[in-house]
Amino acid sequence: MTICRVGMVVTLALFCSRVESQSIATLMGVPDDHCSEVQSTVDGKTFACMVWDNDPQKFSNPPQLEIYRDHQRVATIEPGTPIREWHFWSDGEQLSIHTGGRGDVGTFRLYDTATGKQIDQVNSVSSPRDLPQWAKDRSELDDESVPEGAFYSQQRKLWLADVLKQIDSIHPGMTRRDLQSTFATEGGISTRQQRIYVYKDCPYIKVDVVFSETGAAETEDRIVSISRPYLALSVMD
């Protein structure tokens, strides 16, 4: 599955590179401001459009999804309550939609992409783990794929100990170049003197770094202070 935000044309997968020569809206046969977000199947033949029409109310509380194939709309889905999350399922043959509340609250419906007909439904559950696989979002499926057990727990402890040693080796007086051997820059607001860096092998491990400019290349700026490592979700520009 690929995702493209139409209008801003933020590309999140290889297929979306086609917008350089032809917009996603053109590929679907709709106006540029018709969709706030588009997902396509892996083969790029079927699209699902979150209907927007440049309406702020529809953007914040999207009520409608449309399915397109071969430049034609094949189905319109209107669950009746705001759409919170949606994704293709079963190689694009089905579309899962979560409406109403957030998290595991609300209603989960499964639709046939060829006809737009509903084929399954699950109401609020006590835990995301109680949801059928088709109703779980990408993060929930990823969480379930993490191996558990004493062996894996010990391996994670050893890995974290090694990470902390690497981070402790970075100290004031070193250069930005030294820092970049272990860390990469984080998205969001920053300046040359201060910014957030993330550990290269795990972007959820972060440090805040303050630099002094040397007057030479930026990579030669000196570290004035570096925070203790902390955990946080990724920030996108």
pLDDT at 236: 59
For each of the domains in the chain, give its residue range(s) and CATH number, in order of start. Answer: 2-144 (2.40.128), 155-231 (no CATH)
Q: What's the chain's average pLDDT?
A: 84
Mean pLDDT of 73-80: 93
- pLDDT score at 103: 56
| Mean pLDDT, residues 154-166 taken together | 94
Angle, CA 169 vertex, CA 163 and CA 170 arms, to 5°: 105
Query: Bigger pLDDT: 14 or 142?
Result: 142
> Is the C-alpha dihedral spanning 100, 102, 108, 114 positive or negative?
positive
Residue 143 has pLDDT above 80, yes or no: no
167 compared with 7, residue with greater pLDDT: 167
Q: What percent of the chain stands above pLDDT 90?
A: 52
Pairing between β-strand 46-51 and β-strand 35-40 as defined by DSSP bridges: antiparallel
Taking residues 56-70, report their average pLDDT.
Answer: 90
User: What is the DSSP track for 98-162?
Assistant: EESSSTT-SEEEEEETTT--EEEEE---SSGGGS-GGGS-HHHHHHHTS--SHHHHHHHHHHHHH
Residue pair 74/116 in contact by the 8 Å Cβ criterion: yes
Q: Which of 133, 220, 149 is nearest to 180 (CA)?
A: 220
Stretch 55-82: mean pLDDT: 91
Residue 43's nearest CA partner among 4, 10, 15, 73 is: 15
User: When comparing pLDDT for 186 and 101, which is higher?
Assistant: 186
pLDDT for residue 91 is more than 80: yes
Give which of 49, 30, 143, 122 is closest to 88, Cα–Cα.
49
**Mind listing the pLDDT tens digit for each residue in 188-216?**
778 999 999 999 999 999 999 999 998 88
The structure tokens listed for 140 are: 């929930």
**The pLDDT of residue 148:** 80
d(CA 179, CA 102): 39
pLDDT of residue 104: 57
